[in-house]
Each structure stands twice: as C-alpha cells, then as structure tokens.
C-alpha cells in the first residue's frame, strides 16, 4: 500500500535499517477457537455481538486501524461460521484440539515464520475493547525497550481471577496465576490482559520448550515469559490506559455487560464532541457512526453501520438509522431509515419507513405511516400521511394527498414512475407504473392513473357516480331496528 511504499522509501533515503521498515514485517494472530458453550449458542463465542457486530470484528478493526500487520485467525469449533464471516479476507488456521493458548498460537507457526525479522501481536478474539492506541503504544514501548516480549497489562481495583504481573523496575520477571499466588502477590493490581507483542525470532527460539506440565495438560502463552527470561531475554509490560482492555465475555451476562460498557463509552465520546442526550435509555450507537454538533439524540434511538448525522438535527425517540446519511437541522421522529440519504431541514415521522436507495432532498416533509423505497423526493415536497412511494422520481414542491400508492410491481417486474415539479396528487390516487405526471399536473382523488398526465392537466380516472334512490333505507332497515 502507499504507506508501505513511503516507509520503504524512507528506509532507502536513510540508508540503514530502521524500525519503521521493521514494522512492515509484523503480523497478528487472533485467538478465536472458543466454542461458546456457556453462551448457550450455536455459533463460536467470538461471533457473539457487541453493539451489533461480532467481538472478532472489534478486534480485527483495531488491528487494521493500528496497521499492526498481516492477520491470521485461529479457529476451532464452528470454523465454517468464522470462514463465512471473514469472507476469505484473512488467513486462518485450525486448532483441532483446544490445548491452551500457547498451543493455539503455535497452530499458526507457518504463518509466523513467514514474518521472521518482525514482531508478532497476539490478541484474544473475545476481548473486543483492545484499541488502536493501545496496540500502537505497546509496540512503540516494545521496540524502544528492545523487548523480546511485551505483555499488555491493566490495573484493576478488583483483580480477582486474573494473572498478576511480577515486576522488577520496568521489566516483567513473571506472571503468577491467582491460584498459585501468595497473599502478597494477590494484592498486586496489575494483571495480564492476554495480549502480547513478541519478537518473532526470540519467540520461535524457545517455542519447542513449551510444556503441558499442569493439571489441565495445556500449553499456555504465559509460559513464554519465563522461557524468554531464562534465555537471557528482556520482557516488558505496557500498562493500558483503561482496564476495559482485559474485559471479555464467557456467558450472556458478560456479553450484556460488554454491550453496556461499549454503549456508554460511545455516548461519552459523542457528548465530548457536542452531541446532546436528554436520556440515554435504549440508545445504542455503533462505533463507526459520526454525529455533528448540537444534534440531539432522544431515547430509544439506534444508529448502526456507517451512519452520518449532521449538525443541529433531532433523532428519535424510538428511531433506527442504518448505513445512512442525515443532514443538518433535520427531524427524524420515531421512524426507520436504511441505506439512504436525507438532506437538510427535512421533517420525517412519526412511523415512516425509508427503505434502501432513497434520497430525500432539502425541506421535504414526510408524515406518519409513509414508506419510501428506491426513490428520490425533491425539495419542498410534502408526503404527509398513509402513502407508499416506490421506484419513483419525485420533483420539487409536489403534494401527495392521503393514501396515495405508486403501483410499481406487476407481479414480475418493478417499474418506475416520474412525478414532475409542482404536481398535486389527490387522495387515494393509484399511480400504476410506469407513468409520468407532468409539471403542475393534478390527479383527482380516488383515481387510478394508468396513462401519463400532461403538464398543468387534470387526470381523472374513476367510475361515474350513480345514486339509487331508496336503496339504503331498505338495506339498513334491520340495522336501524337493532339500534
């Protein structure tokens, strides 16, 4: 990529081997072989979702943003589901038997050997809060201290259940599991996150010394620390800025907690950027969403995917926006929008459905129980209530009466209609596509329009009314007696 070319060019200009070029040979192994038994799920644990995206996606995103290196995922039970999720974008290896974290990493030994001369980042696929900054800063410390391994750690007020870090000055001299810790060691608050940077050559040099001499008969990644120290190598520890780095989920309660923490962190970020929340009840915002200053997010709002909200808008309550753009000073009330664009000064809702590939231009008003699909709505147009606009190009300053339907599907094919500027579509009009309503044209209420209506013309397409005298009196005679 371009960044890689720049780094290589920098290497040649400097005329010596520097750490920026070294960085190009780095790689990442993500441990994702957990089977999710305690989740009571048919899918692997790493595919359980935090804010609508799998935990594994969070970890991969952090790796890609930090440019940590080539990625390999270690998979286990449910491998076919992980393959489907990854869509062939990343290398994978299989851990047939779950024999510990050290065993899992060594399943990727061929991938790791391809990157000899660089460094290896090991992450847990079910720890979604690893972030770009932690990965980058841990790597910088790893290089600056010339470590063979750097353990990413966190400070916990309640460290129970975690391995404690044993330090001597700025070096790590060991990791002790809680069950093996002395009372004094249990007082240590710095814990192992399960994430590491390794010098690949140093790691591979001691890899054959891993043993499973423990009650579980498993090979642990933590064993690399004493092995490297015994080989005379240096091991360091990088303290992450937040204790969230260690958090994972083994069951649905833990997953709920991750969702709660993720939601709160994202809301805090948006408030710091000038977004208002009157209440955060039911508000869920995915990490990729951007929101402009002075926008208000009301309770029950869900913002998903690559959604962008402009300045000064009001979103909610009880609204869902996914992979869409909403402009400035727009009100989006109790409605849903998918893969569409809504411009500035628009009022939508309540109870509207904006389906994919729609574009709503400035100053449009869309009222209650309106559905728009694969259509463009021009400036200052009003679609006030109980209307379906599908596969249509609607001009400026058009008025739709109540109950209008664009009849766009003939049972086999979809057809498109055009409604030009300044048209007036009367209540309960059916526009049988394909049809064109000309500039300034009018359709009479109750019409079924099957042919084009010229500009400034009135289109009437309904049966002539006939009144039958006395019919109703006879028909309703029995009903009147009952009343």
Q: So which residues are the catalytic ones?
A: 385
Rounded Cα distance between 49 and 361, Å, is: 34
106: phi then psi, degrees, rounded to nearest 5: -70, -10
355: phi then psi, degrees, rounded to nearest 5: -90, 170
Task: Say which residue the tokens 């081997």 belong to.
Answer: 17
């Amino acid at each position: 990529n371009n960044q890689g070319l720049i780094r290589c060019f920098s290497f040649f200009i400097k005329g010596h081997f520097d750490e920026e070029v070294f960085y190009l040979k780095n790689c990442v192994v993500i441990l994702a072989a957990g089977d999710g038994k305690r989740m009571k799920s048919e899918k692997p644990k790493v595919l359980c979702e935090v804010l609508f995206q799998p935990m594994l996606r969070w970890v991969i995103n952090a790796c890609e943003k930090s440019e940590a290196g080539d990625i390999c995922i270690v998979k286990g039970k449910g491998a076919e589901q992980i393959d489907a999720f990854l869509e062939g974008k990343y290398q994978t290896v299989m851990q047939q038997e779950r024999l510990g974290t050290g065993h899992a990493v060594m399943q990727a030994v061929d991938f790791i050997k391809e990157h000899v001369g660089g460094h290896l980042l090991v992450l847990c696929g079910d720890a979604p809060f690893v972030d770009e900054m932690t990965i980058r800063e841990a790597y910088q410390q790893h290089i600056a201290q010339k470590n063979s391994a750097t353990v990413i750690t966190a400070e916990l007020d309640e460290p129970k259940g975690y391995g404690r870090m044993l330090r001597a000055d700025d070096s790590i001299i060991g990791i002790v599991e809680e069950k093996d810790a002395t009372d004094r060691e249990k007082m240590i608050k710095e814990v192992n996150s399960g994430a590491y940077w390794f010098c690949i050559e140093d790691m591979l040099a001691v890899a054959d010394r891993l043993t499973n001499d423990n009650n579980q008969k498993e090979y642990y990644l933590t064993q690399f620390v004493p092995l490297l120290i015994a080989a005379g190598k240096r091991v360091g520890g990088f303290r992450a800025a937040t204790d969230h780095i260690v958090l994972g989920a083994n069951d649905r309660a833990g997953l709920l907690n991750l969702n709660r923490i993720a939601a709160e962190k994202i809301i805090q970020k948006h408030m710091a950027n000038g977004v208002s929340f009157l209440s955060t009840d039911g508000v869920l915002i995915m990490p990729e969403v951007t929101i402009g200053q002075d926008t208000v997010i009301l309770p029950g709002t869900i913002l998903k995917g690559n959604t962008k909200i402009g300045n000064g808008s009001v979103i909610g309550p009880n609204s869902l926006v996914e992979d869409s753009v909403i402009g400035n000073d727009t009100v989006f009330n109790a409605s849903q929008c998918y893969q569409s664009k809504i411009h500035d000064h628009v009022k939508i809702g309540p109870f509207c459905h904006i389906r994919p590939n729609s574009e709503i231009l400035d100053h449009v008003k869309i009222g209650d129980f309106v559905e728009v699909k694969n259509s463009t709505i021009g400036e200052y147009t009003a679609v006030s209530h109980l209307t379906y606009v599908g596969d249509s190009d609607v001009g400026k300053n058009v008025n739709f009466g109540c109950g209008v339907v664009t009849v766009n599907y003939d049972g086999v094919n979809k057809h498109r209609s055009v409604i030009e500027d300044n048209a007036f579509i009367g209540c309960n009009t059916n526009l049988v596509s394909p049809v064109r309503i000309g500039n300034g044209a009018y359709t009479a209420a109750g019409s079924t329009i099957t042919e084009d209506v010229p500009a400034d013309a009135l289109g009437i397409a309904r049966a002539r009314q006939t009144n039958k005298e006395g019919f109703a009196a006879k028909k309703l005679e029995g009903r009147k007696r009952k009343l």
